[in-house]
Amino acid sequence: MSDSTTDGGCGTDPRGPFTGDGTRAVRAGLPESVKHEPTLPGPVFAAHFHLPGDPTGPYTYGRDENPTWTLLEQAIGELEAPGQDGAETLVFASGMAAISSVLFSQLRAGDTVVLPDDGYQVLPLVRTQLEAYGIEVRTAPTGGDAQLDVLDGARLLWIETPSNPGLDVCDVRRLAEAAHARGALVAVDNTLATPLGQRPLELGADFAVASGTKQLTGHGDILLGYVVGRDAEAMAAVRRWRKIVGAIPGPMEAWLAHRSIATLQLRVDRQNATALTLAQALRERTEVTGLRYPGLPDDPSHRVASQQMRRFGCVVSFTLPTRARADRFLDALRLVDAATSFGGVRSTAERRGRWGGDAVPEGFIRFSVGAEDPADLVADVLHALDETAA
């Protein structure tokens, strides 16, 4: 250990000279460099740790702490809350584990929570469970900051922006100010944007919560979730919930996630740029309606998105005239896997109405743009549209 050098963390210190997103992503969460040790230590597989005497941390039992999580939590914290020393990050087994941990640790019987009515498709199930525990649930759409109208008396405001799959955007600063004025906490689901797209804590949120299953890790091979928060007491309750429920990521998943974050800026910039190119190409097609991409200058979300986002995501949504046409279009694609989820390096698309639940037209397509060559991908989409015309 005497060969330890101290250059390991400097590239990730947001107050230091290196603040580019690519630099921060490749160095995020790396431990101080130690001669003969790997740059990113491998996953630590341990249910328990040597612990003679009084049981003090950092590492006691594998449901409470794991060194592989610690490095991943540092990495995510550096991206979500650079320079915010008080912010704490916790990783979870999935996005839903992270979301549930905030909701169920912060709310009590008799409390009121405001959810979006156009958010992630599992939220209605969450609603039923919250109501079973005596929590009042109100909902309002994401667009137009409509959640403002139902905030009175709420204990927690849950925001999802851009919303999935409708891609509406709300003004996080405005909603957070209004919620705080009423004594409510604010959580933002940051899954679609990723921390390189927007940083909810800087916009006034108390919690940034996300599924790391999507673009954060980007390969469609792991499930992961996280919560970043700045209130120590609130985060202690989230941590306690993770321990009670055991909603913990495996060390292998945590390590793969950390490895994947190194390429976050490369993937996000490539995928998001292609998403804009694809949206522009789709705009020229007469059979396409309801085209949404927050990065399109004339998209209804664009004005607010430009104020609070630095990148606009890799998801494009649009509607084809009928369910049959949408199904034939999906079949005719050669570079795009018919699959749910989004954010992966391989493009995926699905007819969202097949799940039920989302209030979308039958021909509504959610398209996740991958890292293929933009010209190849756009050509494949236009070919599939031509092939299935009339």
Ligand X SMILES: *Cc1c(COP(=O)(O)O)cnc(C)c1O
Binding site for ligand X (CB under 6 A): 94-96, 99, 120, 160, 164, 189, 191-192, 211, 213-214, 223, 225
DSSP code at position 48: B
Nearest-angstrom CA–CA distance, 386 and 390: 9
Determine the residue with CB nearest ligand X. 95
Cβ distance 316 to 275 under 8 Å? yes
Compute the least distance from the CB of residue 13 to ligand X, in Å.
30
Instruction: State in angstroms the smallest separation of the CB of 192 from ligand X.
Output: 6
Using a 10 angstrom Cβ sphere, with 0-12 exposed, 13-18 middle and 19 or more buried, the burial of residue 40 is middle
CB of 2 to ligand X, least distance (A): 42
- What is the number of residues in the chain? 390
Which of 66, 163 has the CB closer to ligand X?
A: 163
Is residue 379 classed exposed, middle or buried when 0-12, 13-18 and 19+ CB atoms within 10 A define those classes?
middle
Buried b (16+ CB within 10 A) or exposed e, 57-88: eebeebebbbbbbbbbbbbbbbbbbbebeebb
Cis peptide, bond prior to residue 162, ω within 30 of zero: yes
Closer residue to ligand X in complex, CB, 79/93: 93
Q: Which is nearer to ligand X, 339 or 382 (CB)?
A: 339
CB of 343 to ligand X, least distance (A): 8
Choice between 234 and 257, CB closer to ligand X: 257
Residue 31's identity, in one-letter code, is P
**What is the DSSP code string of 10-23?**
GGG-TTSS---HHH
Q: Supply the minimum distance, in Å, between the C-beta of residue 224 and ligand X.
A: 7
Output 95 or 166, the one with its CB closest to ligand X: 95
Work out how close the CB of 89 gets to ligand X at its nearest, in angstroms, rounded to a whole number.
Answer: 16
CA–CA dist 347, 350 (Å, integer): 11
Taking the least distance from each CB to ligand X, the nearer of 344 and 374 is 344
Q: Which two tokens stand for residue 190?
A: 């940051």
In whole angstroms, the minimum distance from the beta carbon of 12 to ligand X comes to 25
Give me the amino acid identity at 30: L
3 state SS of 12: helix
- Looking at this protein, which amino acid is placed at residue 176? A
Q: Which is nearer to ligand X, 166 or 295 (CB)?
A: 166
Closest separation in Å from C-beta 298 to ligand X? 24
Tell me how far apart the alpha carbons of residues 270 and 275 are, in angstroms, rounded to a whole number: 9
Q: Which is nearer to ligand X, 96 or 175 (CB)?
A: 96
Shortest reach from residue 211's CB to ligand X, in Å:
3
Instruction: Specify the residue for token string 């992503």.
Output: 25
Closer CB to ligand X, 27 or 242, in the complex? 242
Give the Cα separation of 322 and 238 in Å (integer).
44
